[in-house]
Amino acid sequence: MPLLVMKFGGTSVADLDRIANAAKKVQREVERGYDVIVIVSAMSGRTNELVGWVEGTSRLYDAREYDAVVASGENVTAGLMALRLQEMGVPARSWQGWQVPINTTDQHGAARFVSIPRDNIDQKFAEGMRVAVVAGFQGVAPDGRITTLGRGGSDTTAVAFAAAFGAERCDTYTDVDGVYTTDPRISAKARKLDRIAFEEMLELASLGAKVLQTRSVELAMRFKVPLRVLSSFDETDETSGTLVCDEDQIMEAKVVTGIAYSRDEAKITLITVEDRPGISAAIFEPLAAAGVNVDMIVQNISEKNYEDHAGAVTDMTFSVPVAQVEHARGAMEAARAEGKIAYDELSVDTEVAKVSVVGIGMRSHAGVAARMFRALADENINIKVISTSEIKISVLIDRKYVELAVQALHDAFELEKA
């Protein structure tokens, strides 16, 4: 029989009524002739509760025990979903990570997949099981200990199973009915996309769109897994939602597909750094070692007087997540104390945001940057930093202008039009 993977997020299984609603969607696919692997998250709010219990018990907790506790949320959901399906007459069985087994690395709290053997689940399908309900977000380390994959890990689990079992498609059910051209809470003109390319979705996810977890999109793109985003709360059919697919499955790509934004940004500037070969490595190697995720980078002539310095100097500006500012500051201060770099001042601006335009059509169309910059200029929005890729242009602006910038860019590229 053809196989379908269906993933239900926390809001989709938040209580028994919602689990029953999700089970009806699974039953419908079984009736259409599919064997189904269902990947479930913990019930909404349960993971945070479990994390709170761990932190309330042990401030410096053992990561192995953290995983043992936190993974239990998905186990509960899987069991309840299997029970509901059985009550509906659908042959179903729940599976925890170790039962499959989902083999992962031993990096507790941030494990990565090694392999997903098919034998156990395939055998049960052959014996008449129609639905395997698998606890997402978890696996088993080489030593047999439970591992977790990090937040959003159930999305990645679903795509990994779709790849491992050669599923026809991976359907991700969430609290939105698809992927939009931008956040509908900001722009009333936001339009739901019927299709979006893997690369575009990966950029949007990494730039702040929270519909899909970045690792899941990476995995889907690598293994060519068609990925569909649907609402758990609407009636759906084969044309519902947004299909994330290969670029060649999209008839004619628009120049710009979507506008993404992230408010959780900070701008750091090292003022009057030595302008010499190797200075960039001397700055960014300590940041990498400290686990700081550097995004946008610009180097420019220092405003300081050259006469105050023996040699040429420059200013180095880069952006980091707000939560990593102190890690970045510590890494830079340590590098200066060790004599690896020298600078006069470290300036931090935490009142910035990143706004990006994304689209595979940018590869073959000129003038996107000019159009973007003109739209922002017309709204008197100053650009602090710019970065580009083949299908993306990102700018750093004052955070207070985020909504205005998103609306202006959405209008400038006429994204409300199909």
The SS3 assignment for 113 reads strand
| 9 carries a ligand binding annotation | yes
Greatest CA separation for the chain: 83
| Residue 96 near residue 40, CB atoms below 8 Å | no
How far apart, in whole angstroms, are the C-alpha atoms of residue 95 and residue 129? Answer: 12
Is 89 annotated to bind ligand? no
Closest CA to 258 of 397, 394, 404: 394
Q: Please give the distance of CA 71 from its chain centroid, rounded to a whole number.
A: 20
182 is in an annotated binding site: no
The encoded tokens of residue 144 equal: 């047999």
Residue 38 has pLDDT above 90, yes or no: yes
- Band of residue 404 on the pLDDT scale cut at 50, 70, 90: very high
Predicted confidence at residue 301, as pLDDT, reads 67
DSSP state of 345: E
CA distance 192 to 179: 6
Distances 141 to 77, 192, 232, 239 between C-alpha atoms, Å: 22, 40, 32, 39
180: annotated binding-site residue?
yes
Tell whether residue 291 is among the known ligand binding residues. Answer: no
Q: pTM for the complete prediction? A: 0.84
Which residue's structure tokens are 């919602």? 18
Is position 174 annotated in a ligand binding site?
yes
211 assigned to a ligand binding site:
yes
Beta-bridge partner residues of 348: 268
Residue 8 to residue 81: CA distance in whole angstroms: 10
Q: 119 Cβ partners below 8 Å, 6+ apart?
A: none
- For residue 47, say whether it is annotated as part of any ligand binding site: yes
Contact 184, 178 (CB under 8 A): no
Query: What is the C-alpha separation between 376 and 17, in angstroms, rounded?
Result: 46
- Is 318 a residue whose pLDDT tops 90? yes
75-96 pLDDT, tens digit per residue, is 999 999 999 999 999 999 999 9
Task: Please tell me the distance from the alpha carbon of residue 365 to that of residue 84, in angstroms, as a whole number.
Answer: 52
pLDDT of 69 above 90: yes
Q: Tell which wins on pLDDT, 236 or 212.
A: 212
In this predicted structure, what is the pLDDT of residue 136? 95
* Residue 224 Ramachandran class (φ > 0 left, ψ -120 to 50 alpha, else beta): left
CB 356 within 8 A of CB 260: yes
- Consult the annotation and say whether 175 binds a ligand: yes
- The predicted model gives 346-368 an average pLDDT of 92
Tell me, what's the pLDDT at 308? 54
Fold of the 3-175 domain: Carbamate kinase (3.40.1160)
Task: Report the percent of the chain where pLDDT is more than 70.
Answer: 96
Residue pLDDT, tens place only, 101-120? 999 999 999 999 999 999 99
Q: Which residues pair with 345 in a beta bridge?
A: 271
Q: Is 15 exposed, middle or buried (0-12, 13-18, 19+ CB in 10 A)?
A: exposed
pLDDT tier for residue 252 given thresholds of 50, 70 and 90: low
Burial environment of residue 397 by CB neighbours within 10 A (0 to 12, 13 to 18, 19 or more): buried
